[in-house]
Amino acid sequence: MRRLSLLEGALDARGRIVVVDVLRAASFACWALGSGALRIFEVPRVEDALALKRRNPEWLLAGERGGVPPEGFDLGNSPSGALERVAPGMTVIHCTSAGTQGLAAASRSSGQVAFGSFPCSEACARWLAGCVEVDIVAMGAEGIEPALEDEAFSDYLTALVAGGSRPDATAFIGEAASSASARAFREGDRPGRPSRDLDLSLELDAFSFVPVVTGSFDGFPVLEAVRPD
């Protein structure tokens, strides 16, 4: 198992790959799929996401730049927004400054790629079980600077996959909650950063599926909910 980081790590990842972005892209994907989204198109560039939305106005466009939704987006990169806005059977376009970039970069390899975060941690570990080549990529802030919450989840997932006695998640979640990004959410609702997003992003094992790249659409990775055997 390799531990990689940032966008350069995503570009280098091979085998079965977990791209980690706790606050908030990977967590958003969990809550959107858990709310009934059929699929999520991960689109790195804002202009491409807007063009896809114009061609498919019934699809939901979510994401951020600098933590806030760009003009023309339906909602931000917000797990709580997904709970409020995503309906069963819906298609979601997702465009963010770190997680989406990492997922798209990792998907260029011949490996299998998933999003990892606390709400799907156990399912993610089962998805990785028995794999010979595993890479875990902590995306960090903007894909260019390490983020404590992503490192904490990567540590927890590594311990889960290693087997033996099950690790206590409390310390790992506490470490994630102490990060600079987490503190910004705890300070209260700010534009694009509702405080409830932190709680949802740190909710352990809310779902029994993993957001996995199952194909592509117009060259963009397509995420769907996959339940490990």
- What are the sequence ranges of the domains in the chain? 2-226
Residue 86 has pLDDT above 80, yes or no: yes
Q: What value does the CA radius of gyration of the chain take, rounded to a whole number of Å? A: 16
For residue 165, pLDDT over 80 is answered with no
Note the pTM of the prediction, 2 decimals: 0.96
What's the N-to-C CA distance of the chain in angstroms? 21
Mean pLDDT of 116-121: 98
Task: Indicate whether 43 pLDDT > 80.
Answer: yes
Q: Are 63 and 73 in contact (CB under 8 A)?
A: yes
Element (H, E) at 95: strand 91-95
Q: Is the pLDDT of residue 186 over 90?
A: no
- Residue 58: CA atoms inside 13 Å, Cβ hemisphere, count? 5
pLDDT in tens, 190-203: 777 899 999 999 99
Domain over 2-226 is classified CATH 3.40.50.2300: no
As a whole number, mean pLDDT of residues 102-126 equals: 96
Output the average pLDDT for the chain: 96
Q: What is the per-residue DSSP string for 124-175?
A: HHHHHTT-SSEEEEE--BTTTB--HHHHHHHHHHHHHHH-SSPPPHHHHHHH
CA atoms within 13 A on the CB side of 97: 14
With a cut of 90, say whether residue 217 has pLDDT above it: yes
